[in-house]
Amino acid sequence: MLSVSGSSSSVKLRVMEANIFYGGRGTDNIINLTRDAAWIAKMNPYVVSLIEVLGGSNDPQTLTSLVKQKTGITWYYSYAPKYPGCPEGVMILSKWPIVSSSQYFMKYQMPIAQATLSVGGKRVNFFSTHFQWPASASSERQAEANQLVSFANKFAEPRIIAGDLNAQDGTPEINIVEQKFLSGWNTALSHNTAVAYSDNPPDPYTRTRKSRIDHVFYSKGATNLSVTAAKVPDTRNLAIRPVIKIGTSDDKGVRPSDHNFMTVDFTVY
């Protein structure tokens, strides 16, 4: 059973962003959704944005069931394929009930999943998305950024966006998003409440892959929302050598994905 953390006028909301590497493949080159479910349970979020989920393999149902087994509570999900009929997509997984949900298919066959959550009786509009790759595709990502902001702005405050945007701070595509949204990680950094690990310390350049391309944003107009903390945990199993390398100085153990996971903690008033 869910309990509301905080006073009757505020609710804690931990958001997790996780690219699970095409169906749950770790850097040992083994697909293991049970491992992903264990990490979700360990990081203890209230809502998760999951990227590279294989809807064609029933991953949304399987992962939801596995997380329920790990946590002992019911979870709710909403899935959006990259485009109609695509076996891969993005997914919102929530401890809080999903009141309504929708999908938006951006240019270049990339998706947005939207869910209106009932967070302790308070409505929060949450979005999970994935932008175009490779690194050279900035013009495509800029088009997607404009579509994302336009779509999100159709929904009521507060609004939270999480996803793998395949771009780091300071790029034109992120600048487009940050015209209307704030970075949860950067806000936590400014409050000295961002945490990472010694091989990847908390700073503006903390990596979720070769750089920080996974993000959690919240709308500038969300006056009933505040950031209290953020974290990029060390998910490496240092006892096992990775088969798949990310190409960073901390390639020293097997991770559950080729991305680091992250959380941002909010208080909803």
Does residue 165 contact residue 150 with C-beta atoms inside 8 Å?
no
Q: Is residue 84 part of a domain?
A: yes
Is 221 a member of any domain? Answer: yes
204-240: buried (b, 16+ CB within 10 Å) or exposed (e) per residue? eebbbbebbbbbbbbbeebeebbbbbbbbbbbbbeee
- Is residue 1, in this structure, part of any structural domain at all? no
pLDDT band at 6, cuts 50/70/90?
Answer: very low
The answer to whether residue 2 is domain-embedded is no
Residue from 55, 32, 17, 269 nearest 164 by CA: 17
The range of the structural domain enclosing residue 174 comes to: 11-268
User: What is the tens place of the pLDDT at every residue in 183-224?
Assistant: 999 999 999 999 999 999 999 999 999 999 999 999 999 999
CA distances from 161 to 33, 73, 92, 101, 258 (A): 24, 24, 11, 14, 21
Using alpha carbons, select from 117, 133, 110 the residue that is nearest to residue 47: 117
CATH number at residue 102: 3.60.10.10
Residue 9 token pair: 């006028």
Q: Which two tokens stand for residue 220?
A: 């500038």
4 domain-assigned: no
Mean pLDDT, range 50-78, rounded to an integer: 98
Comparing CA positions, the residue from 99, 265, 121 lying closest to residue 188 is 265
Phi, psi of 38 (to 5 degrees): -65, -40
Q: Average pLDDT for residues 21-26, to the nearest whole number?
A: 98
Rounded to an integer, what distance in angstroms lies between the CA atom of residue 83 and that of residue 73?
31
Q: Provide, rounded to the nearest whole percent, the portion of the chain with pLDDT above 70.
A: 97
- Residue 3 maps to a domain: no
Q: Which of 73, 63, 60 is nearest to 35 (CA)?
A: 63
- pLDDT value of residue 1: 44
* Total count of domains within the chain: 1
147 found inside a domain: yes
Residue 210 domain flag: yes
Confidence of residue 3 (pLDDT cuts 50, 70, 90): very low
